[in-house]
A and B are shown apart, each in its own frame.
Chain A
Amino acid sequence: MSHKVIVPIGPYHPLQEEPEFFQLYVEGEKVVDIDIIIGYNHRGIEKLSESKHIDQVPFLVERICGICSSSHPYAYVLAVEDILGGEASVVPERALYIRTIIDELQRIHSHLLWLGLAGHFIGYNTVWMWAWKYREPVLDMFEMVTGNRNNYAMFKVGGVRRDIKDEDIPVLKKALDDLVPALGMFRGAVMDDPVIQARLKNVGVLTKEQAIDWCVIGPTARASGVNIDVRRDEPYGVTDKINWNVIVEKEGDIFSKTVVRILEMYESVSMIRQCLDKMPKGSIDADIQDIPPGEGIGRVEAPRGECFHYVKTDGTNRLIRHKVRAPSFMNVASNKVAAVGGTISDATITLAAVDPCYCCTERVAVINKIDNKKILNGWDLIRLSQEKTQKLKLQKR
């Protein structure tokens, strides 16, 4: 009789960011079930935002997640502008362009960040260092445009807070030009590497039907062949005025998720270039004074998927309800099907493949369910994953 062993993963891990606790139930090497325990990061933002002025809330919501710190304020201001009659009817055109530039820059930085971490999880620390090296110029662009490397504080109801100076535009373009060959090298190194293919292909597969049932969104859904992208389905900013493509892959494994993210970075670079070229002169803020009572919904395609904000106002300067749904909320739950059936050495990368906004794999202790004796501990899950890559590398030689 085979017996089940529980592998607790988390809640603290030095590489991924937020605390998060997984319990893997394994039989031998195979993962048979998974229990996800979250809530270590619950700060009560929905309640706090009811106590803040409508103009203060963007600063609060951009601290929901540091990686998507433009998506949340963007979705929030879209929700408030939905009460006022829609973004396009309220916000000046130049501000729309600046919003799209910030949003797409953030997508590049977030995808590079994920690729680096994914590289680390499968034992390619070179990929990690590369990705984060090329991420630095993106952060420099942010610093130039918004004044901070993270937490940009650019969005406000009715416009943006800072303009892009004319003399900055050639510098931004030069930085983008330098980024493209780096991305090309990266793409070649990751996509043509036989070991990475062996590690990522047919691992952690999420079929199209499962993707729909678990309501996953963003690159996770697009890698499974679900053709959704809020930027196209419900255009915001200037995403309907510039040319770009939605990247969709069919296989649903981790390799397709990687491919979707790499190709999306190219699209984002092209979008930013077009925005910088087409950006008209003019004001950047509509100076909204009053928010009428009503309810509004704002949706933004964050790097991880649809970011959803719902606000309800009663005519005063505060909200009576603010519901935030970050994309990971839907994506993480789908790990329950993606990781089950795989081996334990693939579990790390599978759990990380949805680009979760939290940490996972620290304090790993494999505990035998019967006598509660520790078999493995510490860092071993990542090590297992990295050793598998080493073995594959030797085989390929």
Chain B
Amino acid sequence: MDVRSAIKDKLGNKIIDWQEKSTRRSYFSIKKEHILETVKLLFHTLGLRFSIASATDMPEGLEILYHFSFDAAGEFYSVRVIIPDKAHPEVDSITPLFPGAEWIEREMWELLGINFKGHPNLKRLLLSEDWPEGEYPLRHKDES
């Protein structure tokens, strides 16, 4: 069974929408409660490689994309999670599942202010010690 149908099969109706941008690029949205389960499935069960996560400040909330690469076929799967609560954004940390996600979660925490629940070492990665608390450089200020 190929990876695409395996994901659709295992996650079932937890997938909110599925977009195929091309044969190599698939984006799908899930609720933030299901992120641990999804990452476990993609990383441990299906053996995809975690490439990176990227967070964006969108009008409808903070959007995190977890990018997974299936290298054997050159396919790329991006899991989209939207956190509507911009004042106190929170999502489960995926670092306990595998250590490769530690740095990027620290980066998103300091640049966009997303709190990762259960992260073992949530401290500053890039910004200096005197950077003001509560100031997040990648947040868009003028659109609220």
Q: Do chains A and B touch in the complex (CB under 8 A)?
A: yes
A308 engages B72 (CB within 8 Å) = no
Q: Does B83 contact A (CB under 8 A)?
A: no
B56 engages A325 (CB within 8 Å) = no
Contacts A82-B21, A234-B24, A330-B100 given; indicate if A228 touches B125 (C-beta within 8 A).
no
- 1/0 per residue, CB under 8 A from A, across B57-95: the answer is 000000001010101111010100000000000000000
B103 engages A333 (CB within 8 Å) = yes
Contacts A233-B72, A312-B56 given; indicate if A297 touches B67 (C-beta within 8 A).
yes
A329 engages B22 (CB within 8 Å) = no
Contacts A42-B127, A228-B49, A308-B67 given; indicate if A297 touches B78 (C-beta within 8 A).
yes
Across the interface, name the chain B residue whose C-beta is closest to A321.
Answer: B56
Q: Does B99 contact A (CB under 8 A)?
A: yes
- Using a CB-CB cutoff of 8 Å, which residues 266-320 of chain A contact chain B? 294-297, 299, 306, 308, 310, 312, 320
Q: Does A134 contact B (CB under 8 A)?
A: no
Q: Does A213 contact B (CB under 8 A)?
A: yes
Contacts A82-B21, A323-B52 given; indicate if A39 touches B74 (C-beta within 8 A).
no
Across the interface, name the chain B residue whose C-beta is closest to A233.
Answer: B74
For the residues of A in contact with B, the DSSP-based class is mixed
Q: Does B124 contact A (CB under 8 A)?
A: yes
Please name all residues of chain A whose beta carbon is closer than 8 Å to the beta carbon of B34 when the two chains form the complex: none
The number of residue pairs between A and B whose CB atoms lie closer than 8 Å in the complex comes to 88
A82 engages B103 (CB within 8 Å) = no
- Using a CB-CB cutoff of 8 Å, which residues 76-126 of chain B contact chain A? 76, 78, 98-104, 111, 124-126
Please name all residues of chain A whose beta carbon is closer than 8 Å to the beta carbon of B100 when the two chains form the complex: 213-216, 330, 333
Q: Does B25 contact A (CB under 8 A)?
A: yes
Q: Does B6 contact A (CB under 8 A)?
A: no
Using C-beta atoms within 8 Å of the partner chain, give the interface range for chain B.
Answer: 35 or more
Q: Does A367 contact B (CB under 8 A)?
A: no
Give A312 to B76 CA distance when docked, in angstroms: 16
- 1/0 per residue, CB under 8 A from A, across B11-39: the answer is 00000000001101101000000000000
Taking the nearest CB of chain B, how far is it from the CB of A278, in angstroms? Answer: 23
A321 engages B25 (CB within 8 Å) = no
Taking the nearest CB of chain B, how far is it from the CB of A94, in angstroms? Answer: 24
Please name all residues of chain B whose beta carbon is closer than 8 Å to the beta carbon of A294 when the two chains form the complex: 21
Q: Does B46 contact A (CB under 8 A)?
A: no
Taking the nearest CB of chain A, how far is it from the CB of B97, in angstroms? Answer: 9
Give A73 to B116 CA distance when docked, in angstroms: 31
Q: Does A44 contact B (CB under 8 A)?
A: yes
Residues of chain A whose beta carbon lies under 8 Å from any beta carbon of chain B = 38-39, 42, 44, 46-47, 82, 85-86, 212-217, 227-228, 233-235, 294-297, 299, 306, 308, 310, 312, 320-321, 323, 325, 329-330, 333, 336
